[in-house]
Structure 1
């Protein structure tokens, strides 16, 4: 205990150099923990974006491109899937449900997704969690839409407000569909996925806002059976303006599909994995048009395999920073040993044994490394509190503020062990200093 107090006082006496070394170690620890937490949570966030979907079907491009465009709203698909092909494939044996999606429009930089009521019924994220409404309900006709939580929060929208959809993706659009304003009837609860940054509208509204005339396509009220299976005669049915413009919260579900010619992609769920493999093979060999069916879980794994080298580079970079900081501590301790030869000789003269000197310098290295790890961890959590909202809003990556994982604690243990080993070198050097060498004046 006396040696530990002496080591603390010795560090305080040399606080300028010790604080600089401690700060360097703290920064390196923060960087290492941050990279590891971002790596793990980013993978988890991407994996949680879609759950329970067996197949994603789109035009024949690449597996990862189809996944990014249809699920993450990254990039776009140059081709589309004909509505006739979608209707044919969804009737295959073993298909439990399907969700058509149509992309290509935007609202103030947020993606607009056209779909039907099956989206809110069957879409799952994280561990098969269903979409929930924080307020309002799903759309019931072509004049209604549902906002993701982030869209509503960032733009300050509320239920009953009318907004205008723009043609094209991105923050800048030169074509606004001002003649077809739509009413907000629902706001989804936060999911931590691209759903939060999406404006959801009925498929029939896609045709309506792109119609050559200023009037939207008329809609029809189908029976529950028609609505569930998406069966349409392909003809427009006449209804009065009241049906189309009814945006009240008490309106009944209407035709949400209309007669689209094509969609961007569609999601599918099956009764059995055997049906999944069988239908996937049939889709990839589909003769009517070139289509591609991917399994989201498999494609996500391929995506992370591609990024594996980036993960390793980031981890290597952070480890190099830690090693450099520990080497800096070693250099500082070695330099101070030469300057402290008289101090160590005085300790020897008052009865300190060589192993006391060895333990003293070892304790100093341990103290500096330990405090560096503690302050580095505090900086790590402070950084999480600061950066998490930005990563969540910009990239959909939700960083957890949970306690350190066993792996992260192992990393800190490795740093502590490395710092202790680094401290053995100056301790061993001081161990062999003799009393006469310390008291003599050298020129």
Structure 2
């Protein structure tokens, strides 16, 4: 019988200790693989979410905070931008598209994002993939809402369903907008990004439901019901059309520029015209002025050429009268990784120590079994096995135990990834797909297997010397 066969038979005879040893090594290997796979996939998921956005602009805060609340729905803005600044950014000649982000409401624990139709037309993720609708369509009515895939799946939302938003973020709801219900007009296809974790409404509707909240508490007498808001929007659109009909031909360039402002509603466009003719309308606010959003939380920008991103970022960050913060999403993510780098290193050290503990457990099991196996070694010697062959038997056993532990650890890590995937998707909007280790990780696992053999050298040398001495003893 070959040495591997003998080693397997020996381990079967001591199956209890062998199973415990394999389990210890498997847990250690699973921890090593899981930590690394989670780290790599989370980073990939974060990059996938911002790959189509060139700049993110918000009020002065930390770059990481701006990135987290605007894209990943983590945290809240400490300050907002004036809506006029968004219009200026959208009209910048370097900007191809601009998507406003307005936060402050939630629906059953999921954040509500006030935005524009440009979100569904221009936003890109995963290297240029566009958002698609699984059901329904985008905004048609002022009080339409579009649900992300994960929200629709968990809450059972479908086109036509009525929803009532709540003032506040996450699970903290201060007031429900009962008088201003929304209708789900569409459900987005799954993206595996934080887009799946939100509900999207028109930015002017986001403003409409907050009219009467200027003092921090609702004032029912000043609130708009949906019919009033729709009437104002229709009046704003009519006045906007009339204004353009009477506008001189020299304004055609301004009209072309306004067409690039994807996030501006008809009410906002009218208000821009009102500002141009301010001296004619000071006596009363126009319908457009009533519905025009006053603030946005952040603006996502796509540029005509990515080469202009650094220059535009520098120019925006140098403004002093009305300061802004413009960030490159990729660089902000690098800053986030530097912040979390220490925690990652600690996890790596801990998982390395767990592997060491697993190998030490195997060494303890092998050493503890030497006295019990003295008779087994004597039988092998009597059958003609040489001392070095008996020593090799222990090395082969250690190799088998370590290999089985690695295999079981990989399966355990795979199962853990499957189990953690729903939680990660729910918490961060990041889709985690279980994967096998990369090539360099297989080298690490091979190194661990070699370490298992090295650990077994001590009991192997002890067995070699003992069997050699037993063979030299003279028995009467």
The alignment's TM-score, normalised by the length of structure 2, stands at 0.84
Does structure 1 residue 385 correspond to structure 2 residue 427? no
Q: Distance in 1 between matches of 2:411 and 2:184?
A: 43
The whole-number CA distance in structure 2 between the counterparts of 1:398 and 1:196 is 10
- Find the counterpart in structure 1 of residue 251 from structure 2: none
Q: 1:219 aligns with which of 227, 233, 240?
A: 233
Deviation at 1:341, TM superposition (A): 2.5
Are the structure 2 counterparts of residues 341 and 147 from structure 1 closer, same or farther at C-alpha, using a change threshold of 3 Å?
same
3-state SS, counterpart of residue 114 of structure 2: strand
Equivalence map 1:30-45=2 (5 Å): 30-45=30-45
Tell me the number of residue pairs that the alignment of Structure 1 and Structure 2 aligns: 423
Give unpaired runs (5+ residues) of structure 1: 238-254
CA distance in 1, matches of 2:339, 2:259: 41
Change (3 A) 1:274 1:396: closer
Sort the Cα spacing of 1:402 and 1:434 in 2 relative to 1 into closer, same or farther, 3 A.
Answer: closer
Separation in structure 1 between the aligned mates of residue 144 and residue 312 of structure 2, nearest angstrom:
34
For residues 285-339 of structure 1, give each alpha carbon's deviation from its aligned partner in whole angstroms, at most 9, with x where no partner exists.
Answer: 2244121101101101111111111111111111110111101101111222233
Say which of 356, 359, 364 aligns to 1:331: 364
User: Which stretch shows the higher mean deviation, 427-436 or 176-185?
Assistant: 427-436
Query: How many Å separate the matches in 2 of 1:32 and 1:235?
Result: 58
- RMSD of the alignment, in Å? 2.3
- SS for the counterpart of 2:146 is strand
Q: Contact 1:342–1:438 (CA<8 Å) still a contact in 2?
A: no
Question: Which region of structure 1 is more displaced relative to structure 2, 313-322 or 393-402?
Answer: 393-402
2:446 aligned partner: 413
| Contact in 2 for aligned 1:37/1:399 (Cα 8 Å) | no
Aligned partners of 2:292 and 2:321: how far apart in 1?
Answer: 19
Deviation, 1:164, is 0.8
What CA deviation, in whole Å up to 9, does each residue of 1:346-373 have, x standing for no partner? 3223311122112111111111111111
Alignment counterpart, residue 232 of structure 1, candidates 249, 265, 269: 269
Q: How does 1:165-314 map to 2 (within 5 A)?
A: 165-211=165-211, 212-216=222-226, 217=229, 218-220=232-234, 221=237, 228-229=260-261, 230=264, 232-234=269-271, 258-314=291-347
Contact 1:95–1:275 (CA<8 Å) still a contact in 2?
no
Aligned residue runs from structure 1 range 27-176, under 5 A:
27-176=27-176
**TM-score, structure 1 length as denominator?**
0.90
Match of 1:397 among 430, 441, 444: 430
* Cα distance in 1, alignment partners of residues 273 and 108 from structure 2: 31
**Residue deviations 1:160-199, cap 9 Å, x none?**
0111111111213131111111110110011111111111
- Matches of 1:439 and 1:188, distance apart in 2: 80
The 10-residue stretch of structure 1 (160-169 or 121-130) with the greater mean CA deviation from structure 2: 121-130
Aligned equivalent of 1:355: 388
Question: Residues 397, 115 of structure 1: CA spacing in aligned structure 2 closer, same or farther, 3 A cutoff?
Answer: closer
Secondary structure at the residue paired with 2:40?
helix
Change in 2 beyond 3 A, CA 1:203/1:236: farther
Paired with 2:422 and 2:471, the residues of 1 have a C-alpha distance of 57
Q: Secondary structure at the match of 2:343?
A: helix
d(CA) in 1 for partners of 2:14, 2:107: 60
**CA deviation vs aligned residue, 1:173-230 (integer Å, no higher than 9, x gap):** 1311111111101100111111111110001101211123232422134679666533
Shift of 1:439: 9.9
Tell me, yes or no, if the aligned pair for 2:58 and 2:80 is still in contact at 8 Å: yes
Alpha-carbon contact 1:341-1:438 (below 8 Å) kept: no
Please tell me whether the aligned partners of residues 82 and 262 of structure 1 are also in contact (alpha carbons under 8 angstroms): yes
1:366 and 2:399 correspond: yes
CA contact (8 A) 1:102 1:263 kept: yes
Once residues 63 and 302 of structure 1 are traced to their aligned partners in structure 2, the CA distance between those partners, rounded to angstroms, is: 8
Alpha-carbon distance change, 235 to 92 in structure 1, aligned in 2, over 3 angstroms: closer
Q: Distance in 2 between matches of 1:363 and 1:348?
A: 17
Q: CA deviation at 1:340?
A: 2.1
SS in 2 for 1:6: helix
